[in-house]
């Protein structure tokens, strides 16, 4: 998978070099390319925003600068993700779907967002014919300072689903937030007793059927507590 992230703060993406994602890039499973939006400006102040037409607070990012930045990376079959709190809510199902894509571009807006003509432009039939899709995505119902952290969240959730990225592929099988809305059961490891708290004895019983059914009921209890 190829990932391009366009931002005025490329340094936000430095942690993607760490851990399994860094290894996946070294191993050629993944390439992450971060682009400085200001590199597409032509004025001495490297302006990326202006006041909104119609008035109102804040600044809007310039369509022209964004258009140049996106043109540089977009190709047939790419999915352009525009990060905005007004977008469709990101979840595990969307992560699964995006993990099948060959090229994902993250447009990380700041301030009051990107001039909406950018989204409209890349949604036009000439791009659709090239199998290019545009999606506005939010990672949750709260407002961040910009799309960078949202893009990082999405990149981590998406790329760990690419075969070969996780050290142990079995970790994917049982985990939280599969499509049925199941949450993972609680886990314990050594020591058997910590600060007076014992590991649930059933987990030491060796009875796999009983363990599976205990875990299922614990997962349900978690769901009832945390998701209602």
Q: Which residues bind ligand ADE (CB under 6 A)?
A: 83-85, 138-140, 142-144, 146-147, 150
Please give the order of strands across the beta sheet that includes 103-108: 31-36, 2-7, 103-108, 79-89, 133-138
Give dist(CA 61, CA 47) in Å, integer: 9
The Cα 58–Cα 109 span in angstroms is 13
Which of 40/138 has CB closer to ligand ADE?
Answer: 138
Q: Which residues contact 72 (CB under 8 A, 6 or more apart)?
A: 35, 40
Q: C-beta of 206: minimal distance to ligand ADE in Å?
A: 45
32 vs 150 by CB, closer to ligand ADE: 150
Q: Which is nearer to ligand ADE, 53 or 142 (CB)?
A: 142
CB of 73 to ligand ADE, least distance (A): 19
Cβ at position 117, least distance to ligand ADE in Å: 19
Q: Which helix (H) or strand (E) holds 79?
A: strand 79-89
Residue in the structure block whose two tokens are 């301030």:
111
Residue with Cβ nearer ligand ADE (62 or 139): 139
Q: How far is the CB of 190 from ligand ADE (least distance, A)?
A: 39
Closest CB to ligand ADE among residues 59, 199: 59
**Please, what is the minimum distance in Å from the beta carbon of residue 91 to ligand ADE?**
12
CA end-to-end distance (rounded Å), the chain: 36
């Amino acid at each position: 998978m190829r990932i391009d992230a366009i931002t005025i703060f490329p340094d936000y993406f430095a942690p993607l070099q760490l851990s399994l994602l860094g290894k996946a890039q070294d191993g050629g499973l993944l390439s992450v390319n971060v682009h400085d939006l200001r590199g597409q400006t032509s004025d001495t102040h490297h302006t990326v925003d202006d006041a909104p037409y119609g008035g109102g607070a804040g600044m809007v990012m310039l369509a022209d600068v964004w258009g140049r930045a996106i043109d540089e990376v977009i190709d047939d079959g790419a999915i352009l993700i525009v990060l905005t709190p007004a977008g469709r809510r990101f979840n595990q199902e969307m992560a699964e779907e995006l993990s099948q894509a060959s090229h994902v571009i993250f447009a990380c807006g700041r301030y009051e967002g990107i001039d909406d003509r950018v989204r409209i432009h890349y949604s036009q039939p000439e791009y659709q014919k090239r199998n290019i899709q545009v999606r506005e995505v939010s990672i949750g119902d709260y407002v961040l300072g910009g799309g960078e952290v949202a893009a990082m969240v999405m990149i981590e959730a998406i790329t760990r689903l690419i075969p070969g990225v996780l050290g142990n592929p079995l970790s994917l099988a049982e985990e939280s937030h599969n499509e049925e809305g199941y949450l993972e059961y609680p886990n314990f490891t050594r020591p058997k007793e910590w600060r007076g708290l014992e590991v649930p004895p059933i987990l030491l019983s060796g009875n796999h059927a009983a363990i599976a059914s205990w875990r299922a009921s614990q997962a349900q209890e978690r769901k009832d507590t945390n998701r209602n």
